[in-house]
Structure 1
Amino acid sequence: MMPIDLDVVLARLLLAAAGSLAAGGAVWAVAVLCRRTLPALAQQRSLWLCGQVAVAAVFLAMLLPPDEGLRVMPIIEIVEQEAAPAAPMPAVPPAQAAAAPVLALASAATERPLSAWARDAGRAWLVLYLLGLVHALWRWRRAQRLLDGLAASGLPLAVSEHKGFAQHSRTQVPLAVVEVDVPMSPMLLGLFRPRLLLPRHLRGFDTLQQQLIVEHELTHWRRRDLHWSAAALLLQSLFWFNPFMRLLGARLGWAQEFGCDRDVLRGRPSAERKAYAAALVAQLKLQCRPAGMALAFGASDAGSARTDAPTLAARIGLIRTPATARAWPRWVALASLAAVALANFALQPALAWQAAEPVIEPARLLAGHNPAQHSPDTTAPPAAATTPASLDCTMLVDAASGVALVREGTCDASVTPASTFKIAISLMGFDSGVLRDDHAPYLPYKASYASSNPGWRHGTDPAGWLRESIVWYSQQVTKRLGAASVRNYVRAFDYGNRTLASVAGVADAVAVSELSPTLRITPQQQTEFLRKVVNRELALSPQAYDVTARLLKVEETPNGWEVHGKTGTAPVRLADGSADKDNYIGWFVGWTIKDGRKLVFARLMQYPADSNSYAGLKTRQAFLGELAQRTL
């Protein structure tokens, strides 16, 4: 099976391509509306090129991870479905543990899931796009070779040999001039080796007309119109599937012609304007249509002019009676394009990848694990433990030797791990592949998650999940892992009381998360688990250790200690198992490193419910302050 990351990219490429078509239609409609409302805009190159850029920007923006703060349309989830899980695997001897499979899967399903069609469509689109791109580049190369051959068939022309250059010295013409005996339009050719191609029949025009036509082509050069056309041609090639890119590109060519006409005829008397218009009409009657897809000026005049009489008439009308160029219509048009591009992006749907719920049987983790020693009942909650009236424990243990350097307070109280269980969930997620890296998978928030904390009601990724301690993301990770897989991991970790029981009225994804009503752990058990993590004694992938450690790193370095840790907050549980809403426990657990020495720690404190901040945050600040003062 193709890696999920590539499938997501292909699916987003397909959706972005469809979105660029919609954006192209909207941009084209706005551009045409602006041109009709403000006719002078037809002469503005920026309107048409920026229209192409706006379409490309929408395409690229749709490839980014979805952000609910910017989008209006709902997120489309693609569910990666696996086959039905097999029966639980038996424990394996240590010698066979390395070869034990991570995913226990049955035979493939007979019906293909809907997500398979989405993947196939993305792959098919990639093939089609690459074929289209190759075809577009082939057409461009063929047209360019035809024009290069045309230039090679001509003869170099000295400026002094042509009446059209009577007003120019050789130093004022910074490009080679070639005269060809072909009925074509004068044109600039070549972005890096520019040449001016002049048809021989141009000598039959009167001297003023020749000078005006040559000046027109040189003005294209001075305005760097070839560079504008190169950018437009690049976008048309990359977005060959979008017809609006070609329409905008064609209008860009006409806008450049309008602009050159305006610059050449600025300040000239009416007689010269009429002579220039007559020369234009005469030239169009003589020339043939050159190759398309070529990067050359004059290459679009002939064919387009015969099929777009209103545009040609408008050009001649502007030559005779020029419009006054103003800056404000350009800014109005650009602002309109920006607004349309942003609106299109906001209204385009986005894809979010949702993994399946495979049952991961970490047989390699269970190697050497004796079920007879630890076989808690996972179907019913344990008997309620008596919670001390006040909880306050500090433990610091040398990670290498296991010697307790500090053990103060009630360190044998068994309480919920709260959000410190996210350390274990992170290790499970990255080991199994449900979590891929710091920023993947990105998951959008849904109203159905019913987060009690308004600050968590937004999309997030693994880095944001651990940084903000977002509970609903934990539940999505455990859902994708599957309840059986999470329980297997917890047994292999020997985590706390190892009890993640199913409870009536509680979804399994919640029952195996940090909100588990049955999972309990003591501060001492926290340090025992963390020693295995720091010493990498659990048979997890290196990425699981590396990414988890990186995401748990704390910015503060008290007394030179590098700290990695996780907080947790939960109400105190009374002897009957009910929550004491007046008192909360705060956890801060993890490890700290200095001069190559590694210590694991567990700090547990109790606070009244009217405290100004989360109990976990207060505990972290207390521990960091204590660590700065300790001599270890």
Structure 2
Amino acid sequence: MIKHVIALVLMAFGAVAQATEWRDNPAITQLFKKEGVTGTFVVHDVALDTNTGHDRQRAAKRFIPASTFKLPNSLIALSTGAVASVDEIVPYGGKSVARPEWARDMGLREAIKMSNVPVYQEVARRIGRERMRSALVRLNYGNMDTGTVVDRFWLDGPLEISALEQTVFLARLAQGQLPFENVHMDAVRAIARQDGPAELYAKTGWGKRPGQPDIGWWVGWIKKDGKLYTFALNIDIPDGSNDKRVSLAKAALQSLGLL
């Protein structure tokens, strides 16, 4: 029954994605060429229902979401009561961590800014696989597949999402159109807000793929002159260190006059 529901949702999304106009942007393509980066960038103009960007084919290809999943993970945690608020202190677990700043307990408001993986893994364990799986179907998030390991599925797979799907999900979150309580969507929007004068909300992601280049993400939305634009960038990071995610995406937004 669940597989049947998922298939219907995917068909519905496919019809919507096909209906949205795509416009290649030579300036953004030139930015990718100048940086020598393989990847895609797409901006969705919510009011006009148009997509503008670079490499439409890759924009439709799914990849592991990595830490961009902290946005839906936060929403699901709040909606299920896995955390009472974004400021409830969550233990990181005390084990060895990849980054020293992760080695302390903290709430989601702080954890999302430093992309604290252990804290969000604890949150996922509290949610549990069945509730997580059900929530992903309600969100129509990527392929909605949690697999069998509740605290790794967004890092190692099988969960995958495309850049185009990211922009659709983010538009619904930004507008309060997801099937969750407004108070919880408000809280997630608040912790995604970026510092600076622009009304910009975003989340990075970096995932490792065995035998392939690392995958880097920067996704979010921006409000400009009363209009809403969602965006998603993903790029290959071959050497695992030359990180151009945010700088390249910001340059693309600037080229469109959005930042």
Give the shorter-chain TM-score range: 0.7 to 0.9
**Pair member with larger Rg:** 1
1:593 aligned onto 2:223: yes
Which whole-Å CA distance do the structure 1 matches of 2:74 and 2:46 have between them?
20
SS at 2:8's partner residue? coil
Equivalent residue, structure 2, for 1:396 = 43
Equivalent residue, structure 2, for 1:419 = 67
Contact 1:496 1:521 in 2 (8 A): yes
Contact 2:70 2:112 in 1 (8 A): yes
RMSD over aligned Cα atoms: 2.3
TM score, norm. by length of structure 2 = 0.80
- Among 172, 175, 181, the alignment partner of 1:541 is 181
TM-superposed CA distance for 1:534, in Å, is 1.8
Give runs of aligned pairs for residues 353-364 of structure 1, distance below 5 A: none
Equivalent residue, structure 1, for 2:239 = 609
SS at 1:627's partner residue? helix
Residues 391 and 518 (structure 1), Cα distance of their counterparts in 2 relative to 1, 3 Å cut: farther
Contact 1:593 1:599 in 2 (8 A): yes
Equivalent residue, structure 1, for 2:245 = 619
Which whole-Å CA distance do the structure 1 matches of 2:139 and 2:124 have between them?
16
- Among 489, 492, 510, the alignment partner of 2:151 is 510
Contact 1:592 1:598 in 2 (8 A): yes
Which whole-Å CA distance do the structure 1 matches of 2:240 and 2:150 have between them?
30
Equivalent residue, structure 2, for 1:3 = none
Over residues 174-206 of structure 1, what are the superposed CA-to-partner deviations in whole Å (9 max), with x where a residue is unaligned? xxxxxxxxxxxxxxxxxxxxxxxxxxxxxxxxx
Over residues 498-547 of structure 1, what are the superposed CA-to-partner deviations in whole Å (9 max), with x where a residue is unaligned? 11111xxxxx33244x3242111111111121122122221211121111
Equivalent residue, structure 2, for 1:482 = 128
TM-superposed CA distance for 1:605, in Å, is 1.7
Which whole-Å CA distance do the structure 2 matches of 1:488 and 1:555 have between them?
33
Query: What amino acid is the match of 2:43?
Result: L
Give runs of aligned pairs for residues 437-452 of structure 1, distance below 5 A: 437-440=85-88, 442-447=89-94, 449-452=95-98
Which whole-Å CA distance do the structure 2 matches of 1:610 and 1:420 have between them?
18
Q: Provide the aligned length of Structure 1 versus Structure 2.
A: 229
Over residues 319-369 of structure 1, what are the superposed CA-to-partner deviations in whole Å (9 max), with x where a residue is unaligned? xxxxxxxxxxxxxxxxxxxxxxxxxxxxxxxxxxxxxxxxxxxxxxxxxx9
Equivalent residue, structure 1, for 2:206 = 569
1:373 aligned onto 2:8: yes
- Among 435, 443, 459, the alignment partner of 2:105 is 459
TM-superposed CA distance for 1:402, in Å, is 2.5
Contact 2:59 2:163 in 1 (8 A): yes
TM-superposed CA distance for 1:606, in Å, is 1.9
Query: What amino acid is the match of 1:476?
Result: E
Contact 1:419 1:569 in 2 (8 A): yes
TM score, norm. by length of structure 1 = 0.34
Unaligned runs of 5+ in 2: 11-36
Contact 1:400 1:598 in 2 (8 A): yes
- Which 4+ runs in 1 deviate beyond 3 A? 369-372
Choose between structure 1 and 2: higher helix proportion: 1
Query: What amino acid is the match of 2:45?
Result: D
- Equivalent pairs: percent with the same residue? 25
TM-superposed CA distance for 1:621, in Å, is 2.3
- Among 499, 514, 520, the alignment partner of 2:160 is 520
Contact 2:206 2:214 in 1 (8 A): yes
Structure showing greater relative contact order (alpha-carbon pairs closer than 8 Å, 6 or more residues apart): 2
Query: What amino acid is the match of 2:72?
Result: A
Unaligned runs of 5+ in 1: 1-89, 92-368, 376-389, 503-507
Which whole-Å CA distance do the structure 2 matches of 1:533 and 1:400 have between them?
15
Contact 2:200 2:220 in 1 (8 A): yes
Over residues 430-488 of structure 1, what are the superposed CA-to-partner deviations in whole Å (9 max), with x where a residue is unaligned? 22222233311x023333x4423333111111111101101111111111111100000
TM-superposed CA distance for 1:565, in Å, is 0.6
